[in-house]
Structure 1
C-alpha cells in the first residue's frame, strides 16, 4: 500500500467527514489524521501518511496540515487543502485505507477538539513519550512507537469486547 502526503490524507478525512455530515476544526482534523495514521499502522501494518508527525505542545501535528488550515483558527474548516497552482492533493486510497478513515471519522469525528487532544496527551502515548515535558518539542514521533501504541489499543479493545 502507498502512504500519502499529509495534505492528501487531510482532504480524504475532510471528504469522509462531509459524507458523514460532520464539520471539523483544524485541531480535530490534525488529531483525526494522526489517529487514522495510527490505526493504519496497527491494523494494516502500513503508514497512511508518508511523513511522521511532530510532537507539539498541543499534541501530535503534521506541520503541513497546520500551515494549510491555520487560517481557519477555531472555526470550522470550509474547504480543502490546495497544492501548487491550486491543485487539490488527492490520496488514491485502497479499500482498507478508506475503511480506516471512515471508521476513525465515525468513531472520533464527533469528539470535541480538546477531548481528542487529551486522548493524545495521556501518559504513555507516543506524544507523551516523545514530548517529554517540552524537551522533545517539534521532534518527530516515530512510526514504530505509534504502531506499538495502536496495536496495544487494538488488543485491549478485543479483550473487553
Structure 2
C-alpha cells in the first residue's frame, strides 16, 4: 500500500465529519504510519514521509491534493482501499487526532524526540523512514491533550471555573 491510498481512505472516512486540508491530511497520514508501527510492528504503507518545514509530508499526497491549496479537500484522489487493517488504523487516528487543529498536528509532529525533529534539516526534504519512527518518541503513544491548543484552553477553563460561572450569570 502507498501513502496516497491511506490519504484517500482518510478523505472518505472524514467526509461530512471534519474538514481536511492538504496540510492536515499529511499529518494524519503520518500518524497513521506511527499508529500501525505501534500496533502491528510494521509499516502501513511502503513509501517514506519526508521532513518538510511544516512537518512530515508524503510528496505523493501533497502533489495529489495540491490543487486544493488551503481549502478543504472534497473528494479522494483515487479509490480508498478496503484493507481491514488500514480501516482500523484510519478510524483510530481520526478518533484520536481528527478533531485537533492543523496547528496542533504540526506542533505534535514537531515535538522533541519525534522522528521529524530527528531528521529535519532546513532546505532538504530528508526521508522519515519506518526505522526513524520506531526509534522516536512518536512511538510513546498519543500525545497528551495538554500539548494541544484545545488542551490549553481546557486547562485555563478548569483553573478559573468560578470566574466563568460569575460571567455566565451576570
User: TM-score with structure 2 length normalisation?
Assistant: 0.77
* Uncovered stretches (5+) of structure 1, i.e. residues with no partner: 82-87
Is residue 93 from structure 1 mapped to residue 83 from structure 2 by the alignment? yes
Give the count of matched residue pairs: 143
Q: Contact 2:6/2:86 (CA < 8 Å) preserved in 1? A: no
What SS does the corresponding residue of 2:127 show, helix, strand or coil? coil
1:151 equivalent to 2:136? Answer no
Q: How does 1:66-145 map to 2 (within 5 A)?
A: 66-81=62-77, 88-94=78-84, 96-132=85-121, 134=122, 137-145=124-132
1:22 matched residue in structure 2: 18
The one-character-per-residue Cα deviations of 1:30-79 (angstroms, maximum 9, x if unpaired) are 00000011110111112111101011111010000001111111111111
Q: Which has the larger radius of gyration?
A: 2
Aligned counterparts of 2:25 and 2:66: Cα–Cα separation in 1: 11
Residue 46 of structure 2 corresponds to residue 57 of structure 1? no
Retained in 2: the 8 A contact 1:43–1:151? Answer: no
| CA–CA separation in structure 2 for the residues paired with 1:80 and 1:98 | 15
Unmatched tracts of structure 2, length 5 or more: 145-170
